[in-house]
Amino acid sequence: MNMFSQVAEQYDTLNHMFSLWGDLRWRKASARLLNFSEDDHVLDFGCGTGDFTFALRKHSALYITAIDLSPEMLDLMKKKTDNDTSNWLELMAADGEDLPFDENTFDGAVAGFVGRNLLDLHQGLSEIHRVVKPDGRIGFLEFCKPDNGLMRVVSWLYFRLVVAPFGNLFMGKSVPAYRYLIDTIEAFYSTGEMRSFLSGAGFRHVYTVYFNFGTVALTVGTK
């Protein structure tokens, strides 16, 4: 948490820049694909500064509870809201591996680029499964290892030769967050492994929607 608190102010700008603003497109596309119903109560798990929350709300009039381990991220999320959001948005600092909610609380859940930050991915997914209602869906958006071998090489070159040096230029070498970002992307699971993780946490009807030539995946499951 401390590492991400250090980069909170630059977090949005650099992520948008490195992905050529793709992260915004992928969240919007995911919101459309998940197509939660109006008045659903949805959990944004590891919300960061709120881009997934705002994409969901723009698509449908949902009530959203957004949690993150970093209070600094939540403070920046508050600054993004121009109007009173008390009728549809609740922000909470919370540990994703020990959610402070009762079973069957939410109609659905999303998580955007947070899986690599969990110490225990299975525990985090199991917690989401616990707090989502029966027949509720999860949309788990994350960088994953491409299935295509050539794209794995292209992805490695891009993140190592473009993203990491650019991040160091803007952030300074004293901040390790973007080196961490690259390392965790390379070490993260394939799309098939992500489907297995969701199934192992109890979700059914699990499938993948691919973005960015297969380097980004929305893994969807139903409780």
Give me the helix-helix angle, 51-59 and 22-34, nearest 10°.
Answer: 40
Contact 4, 177 (CB under 8 A): yes
Percent of the chain with pLDDT over 70: 82
Q: Domains in the chain and their CATH numbers?
A: 20-145+188-222 (3.40.50.150)
Tokens representing residue 152 in the block = 């794995």
Question: What is the residue type of 88?
Answer: W
3-class secondary structure, 171? helix
φ and ψ of 94, to 5 deg: -155, 155
Tokens representing residue 71 in the block = 């209070």
* pLDDT of 16: 72
> Is the pLDDT assigned to residue 32 strictly greater than 70?
yes
* pLDDT of 110: 98
Total-model pTM: 0.89
Full strand arrangement of the beta sheet holding 63-68: 89-93, 63-68, 41-45, 106-112, 132-143, 216-222, 204-211
Enclosing H/E stretch for 211: strand 204-211
pLDDT digits (tens, 9 = 90+) for 93-144: 999 999 999 999 999 999 998 888 888 999 999 999 999 999 999 999 998 8
